[in-house]
Amino acid sequence: MLKLTLDAIEIIDAIDRGGSFAAAAEALHKVPSTISYTVAKLEEQLGFPLFVRRGPRVTLTPAGSELLNEGRWLLRSAADLESRLRRIATGYESELRLVHDSLLPTAALVDDIRAFEALGCGTRLRISSEVMTGSWEALREGRADLVLAVGDPPPGFGQQARRLRDIEFVFCVAPQHPLARIDHPLTADDFLVHTAIVVADSARLLPTRSIGVLSGQSRITVSNIEAKIALQIAGLGYGFLPRCRIDAALTKRELVAREVAEVRASEPLWLAWKLDAEGEALKWWRARLQLPGALDSP
């Protein structure tokens, strides 16, 4: 009969992470005597110690370290197996990867995340953001199961997509910026002598997009919309910003909207998913994000 069990490995793992038998007992919701007995029994059966004891603190022996290195792999494999079995039995995925364009704040998903977690279905959520074409690429390259992407799909896009609504853009500068004092609609000639704040497209394989950048002009490139907003509020440059991200800044006059000769058109917000993805978690999110008023709250 095997001397090692998953329960025993889990206990050894908890002891190593907590540094003591008492910490492991608390983490695993067991009484300390159970932890001590399990370790002593296992050491007796194996014929060698797993821990060096120094009062209440314990550290792994070399043999214990090797056991735990392999044992953690077994624990992960067992957890993955449970997840796969749950998916087979219930139709829910072990993990759902949701990627949203950085123009959309993660806070807009809070109510949806809370409602999904209340299901108790066991699907783990992994939420991240990309910029412009990066969201479409994450879906195409298998790094996402569901995306909220801004801007039309790239040519040859072979997934399912639903257009949700449009994202409106406003040209903004800080009140102290020189462009705030010009009393006519701003033109390219006005822009050229000032610095533009631009967000870099996060796509790595697909052709990237560049919006509102004039040839030869000074620019500061950042990796996300939060950085762009912060630099424009600081008066370091200008640019178009999504109204859904700056209403508060406009109200507090951290930013002021200016009229421009060439406006930036609104861009569509798309919900897209993999063609062959039919898990229950993905179905839930697809339905939820297409409800009227979805994503309206910041």
What are the pLDDT digits (tens) for 238-260?
A: 999 999 899 999 999 999 999 99
DSSP letter at 273 equals E
Assigned architecture for domain 6-90: Orthogonal Bundle (1.10)
CA distance 45 to 240: 69
Say if 95-166+268-289 and 169-264 have the same CATH topology: yes
95-166+268-289: CATH topology is D-Maltodextrin-Binding Protein; domain 2 (3.40.190)
Q: Could you tell me the residue ranges of all domains in the chain?
A: 6-90, 95-166+268-289, 169-264
Domain spanning 169-264 has what CATH number?
A: 3.40.190.290
- Of 165, 160, 167, residue with least CA distance to 286: 160
CA distance 74 to 53: 26
Category of 54 on φ-ψ map: left (φ > 0), alpha (ψ -120 to 50) or beta? beta
**Nearest 5 degrees, angle CA 266-CA 272-CA 273?**
170
pLDDT tens over the chain, length 298 residues:
567 889 999 999 999 988 899 999 998 999 989 999 999 998 999 899 999 988 888 899 999 999 999 999 998 888 878 777 776 677 888 889 999 999 999 999 999 999 999 988 888 899 999 998 999 999 988 899 999 999 888 887 777 899 999 999 999 999 999 999 999 999 989 998 999 999 988 877 776 666 666 677 799 999 999 999 999 999 999 999 999 899 999 999 999 999 999 999 999 999 999 887 778 999 999 999 999 877 865 4
Whether residue 151 contacts residue 219, with contact meaning beta carbons closer than 8 Å, is answered with no
Which run of H or E residues covers position 77?
helix 62-90
